[in-house]
Amino acid sequence: MRFTERPAPGENGRRDTLRMNAFLALPVLALLCSGCNGISTATTSTSSPPPDPQTYMAPYMVGDNGTAASPGYAVFADQIDHTAQTFSKSTYYIGPGVNGAAQDGVRTYQSGTTMSLARGLLSLGLEYNWTASNPITYNPPQAGGWAVELANQAGGLVQMNGQPVEPMVAATSCPDFKTPQTYQFLTLPAPFGSFGANQSVYTWDPTQETVYGSVDISGSGSAITFNNIQQYALPSFPDFTPGPPATTVISPQTGNCSSGFYGNTTVVPGNSTVTDPGPGTVAPPVALVGIGPTGLLVESNAANGEPDSPPYNTPPFYQNLLGAGTGAIGLPKPSSAVDTSSLVGAQYLGFFYGSGDGNNDWSSSAASFGFNTLPASCNTVATQTSTMIYGGDFTGNNPGSTGTQAKGGFGNCDIAINLGTQDPNNNGLYPAATVYVGLFYAGNVVGANYNLPAVAIAGQLGGKYAIFLLGIDTTGTPNQAWGIYLLQSN
């Protein structure tokens, strides 16, 4: 019923993520921590100006372990204050402190200053970094953190210094869906399958476990229902026949939405008395879900099964509420087909995320897609099609550099995404996407151009496009999942 700290690298087989006792941690956080940060219950109205600072719920992503003495936790509260130009990252910790003494309460991991850059990108300067032995302070602030926010601070993407990207959602109110709202979602990935002594609580087999799916969400007030949950594994490559159904969660599932440390979030199942039923039984899905005022959905999973005992230590692993891996990111399903031409014609900021193979080899970097004028270097990555968008990383992962700012905040052209054909039965779903990795992309260790299969979802949040993509890289080293998360820029 408490979080336990992540072992430092080298401890307990150098596990890549935290362990939790039973499946109770997220319900405890959402229900028992209600009001512990002073956040009042928000209304469903989005006409009032956003609060400053804004608190965001952000799920755990594999690799978020800070330093060896700075363990990670499953859910974070990120705050960005545009008035004071500051940021912070914290969690509500439930567990032992020094010498086993209780140490419940808010723990801030990182904090610092913000600065606005071109196209709506935020630079985060690290001033404080928590460690178990002694906090570290920096003067001047350390550069290397970046964030992109939706309009009116409804959500966004953040990469704290030295951490992987996290989607973040402003759960300012409980969902008010009297008519069911269909969502499409992608898994927030983890390393593939099992890796022996280094096996993690969070592992993922994209050929058998959820890569993408859909769900109908309804409810008002505290009672929220998740119905018609559809989960699919990776479509076959290169012909992209539909993905096989993954091990599914029985629906409907009901959750309880309440105000707490992470905002107005929904716990599934909607009670705080769930315990681990033990090996050989089916555990209920445990998840914390936040939905923003413009529709962004973020799910954080309590755990992807119990990996140390059957049946959870062999694939397909236990499926959570929506995504597998460490959670899910989702968009409202568009009411009509997305205009793919307009979608790929827009400009985006966001992040790349590589899950690694579970041996602390994850990667994360800022990304830019779409150009005012297409650089000639794009032609060396892939031949342009009507469903392709070009972009890439920033040299040295530094979108704040003088050179980048001088060219309007645009990055390199060393990646191309061909969305392919939109699913005729599912608006905004592109199940046959391809990512082309250019020779000069910083993460390319192959030494040549190559490509990988992917699934993408697209839609609008607050009148601007969002593209979320999940790809499978079995060409590079290590074999890993790729997440690409893009929000239309200013």
pTM of the prediction?
A: 0.86
Domain assignment of residue 214, yes or no: yes
Phi then psi for residue 192, to 5 deg, are: -70, 130
Structure confidence at residue 160 (pLDDT): 93
Long-range contacts of 405-408 (CB under 8 A, 24+ apart): 405/117, 405/118, 408/118, 408/119, 408/372
Domain shared by 441 and 416, yes or no: yes
Domain assignment of residue 456, yes or no: yes
Q: d(Cα 482, Cα 473) in Å, to the nearest integer?
A: 7
SS3 332: strand
- Looking at every residue in the chain, the average pLDDT score rounds to 80
Structure confidence at residue 218 (pLDDT): 97
Domain shared by 186 and 252, yes or no: yes
Domain assignment of residue 2, yes or no: no
Domain shared by 475 and 345, yes or no: yes
Domain shared by 150 and 183, yes or no: no
Domain shared by 237 and 312, yes or no: yes
Structure confidence at residue 435 (pLDDT): 97
Domain assignment of residue 4, yes or no: no
Strand residue runs (E) in 394-479: 415-418, 429-437, 450-461, 464-473
Q: d(Cα 150, Cα 296) in Å, to the nearest integer?
A: 10
At which of 126, 152, 169 does a domain end?
A: 169
Lookup result for tokens 């602390």: 360
Domain shared by 212 and 250, yes or no: yes
Domain shared by 280 and 243, yes or no: yes
Q: What is the DSSP letter of 345?
A: H
Kindly list the averaged pLDDT for each block of 10 residues, start to end, along the chain of length 490. 24 28 37 32 41 88 58 71 93 61 74 95 94 88 95 94 94 94 96 54 78 94 92 75 70 90 88 42 72 96 47 50 91 98 97 90 95 94 97 94 89 97 95 95 92 96 97 88 95
Longest Cα separation, the chain: 61
Domain assignment of residue 1, yes or no: no
What tokens appear for 475 in the block? 């060409």
SS3 118: helix
Q: d(Cα 113, Cα 208) in Å, to the nearest integer?
A: 43
HSE toward the beta carbon, residue 409, CA cutoff 13 A: 20
Selection from 118, 92, 114 nearest residue 105 by Cα:
92
Domain shared by 62 and 81, yes or no: yes
Domain count, the chain: 3
Contact assessment for residue 89 and residue 109, using Cβ atoms and an 8 Å cutoff: yes
Neighbours of 216 (CB within 10 A): 19
At which of 332, 358, 383 does a domain end?
A: 332
Contact assessment for residue 125 and residue 113, using Cβ atoms and an 8 Å cutoff: yes
Domain shared by 69 and 112, yes or no: yes
Structure confidence at residue 76 (pLDDT): 85
Structure confidence at residue 101 (pLDDT): 54
Domain shared by 95 and 189, yes or no: no
Structure confidence at residue 9 (pLDDT): 25
Structure confidence at residue 93 (pLDDT): 64
Q: Cα dihedral sign for 192, 363, 234, 22?
A: positive
Domain assignment of residue 5, yes or no: no
Structure confidence at residue 214 (pLDDT): 95
Domain assignment of residue 408, yes or no: yes
Domain assignment of residue 6, yes or no: no
Task: State the residue range of the domain holding 240.
Answer: 177-332
Write out pLDDT tens, residues 278-305: 444 445 667 899 999 999 999 998 654 3
What single-letter amino acid sits at 434? T
Distances (CA, A) of 221 to 41, 51, 112, 176, 440: 11, 21, 35, 7, 51
Structure confidence at residue 320 (pLDDT): 75
What single-letter amino acid sits at 125? G
Domain shared by 148 and 197, yes or no: no
Domain shared by 316 and 344, yes or no: no
Q: d(Cα 127, Cα 106) in Å, to the nearest integer?
A: 18
At which of 332, 361, 377 does a domain end?
A: 332
